[in-house]
Amino acid sequence: MNLQKLAWKPIFMRPEAHDAGAPILEVAGLNVRYNGTMALEEVSFHLNRGERLAVVGPNGAGKSTLFKVIAGVLAPTTGQVKVAGGSPGRHICISYVPQRTQVDWTFPTTVAAAVMMGRFGKIGLLRRAGRRDWEYVRECLSVVGMTNLASRQIGELSGGQQQRMFIARALAQEAELMLMDEPLTGLDVPAQEDIFRVLETLRAREVTVMVATHDLQQAAERFDRVMLLRHRLLGLGLPGEVFTTANLQQAYGGHLHLIQADNGLLAVSDTCCTGEPA
């Protein structure tokens, strides 16, 4: 997936007005099948503005599928997604960051130009990016601490810088719902902390953030609520309510070992699941 492809959608559609009284995200009775393979089954939930949700589940649980449907890049088999009361395909307020491996980092573009792509929906088809837009992009890069990397090719960024560039792009887009698919995977602790610091900026702007992660402890400590997914929604709420032994065993099956550590219950999985329901 290249960055331009992600940017085209907002240019060619007429954005839908927000219903101020509606939750930022409502998912109702969502089912997704790929040629007979069930990825999501009867998933229903809603999120409020400014919430930070960690989405946890084994490989193949349907996390990426859920994000794609919410972002409007994949149509559900049945069920409904509403963003601020309207259809996701008609909104420019959603910023979707796919897994790093899904992005074509060889695409020849600079960091500033990639962040500007986030602004296309605001600029519209009939106008070129002007001085004010470039200033806005520079401000967004400054928020994520990447001013000095503005003219760097995107393929030369480290993993943490790539994620911060995407956050700058969401800021440029003035996104209200940000979906990040495993942004922390493969990053060292300082790079992860940089991301969390920058995510605080989004919280101050009341941006709702959904992050897919494999790190249960980080999910429990750094997010407002957690979602446990294995095709079906096994739980959504405070970590203490959701990360129960029964729920974790249902999610990870026989591959999960629960270890009582100093600071709580640790879930350790050494094998990937098959993606089949428990």
What are the residues binding ligand ADP (CB under 6 A)? 34, 37, 39, 57, 59-65, 275
Cβ 212 to ligand ADP shortest distance, Å: 7
CB of 40 to ligand ADP, least distance (A): 8
Q: How far is the CB of 232 from ligand ADP (least distance, A)?
A: 12
Q: In what order do the strands lie in the sheet with 177-181?
A: 94-97, 177-181, 208-212, 52-56, 225-230, 232-237
Question: What is the rounded distance in angstroms from the CA atom of residue 154 to the CA atom of residue 77?
Answer: 35
Closest distance of CB 60 from ligand ADP, Å: 4
Nearer to ligand ADP among residue 70 and residue 146 (C-beta): 70
Residue type, 262: D
Cβ-based nearer residue to ligand ADP, 53 or 84: 53
For ligand ADP, the closer CB: 29 or 240: 29
Q: Which residues contact 227 (CB under 8 A, 6 or more apart)?
A: 45, 53, 54, 55, 56, 233, 235, 236, 242
Question: Alpha-carbon distance 218 to 254, whole Å?
Answer: 22
Supply the angle between the helices 159-173 and 131-143 in degrees, to the nearest 10: 130
- Measured from the CB atom, is 8 or 34 closer to ligand ADP? 34
Smallest separation (angstroms) from ligand ADP to the CB of 253: 14
Q: What share of the chain is helix, strand, coil (3-state, %, to 5)?
A: 40, 25, 35
98 versus 118: smaller Cβ distance to ligand ADP: 98
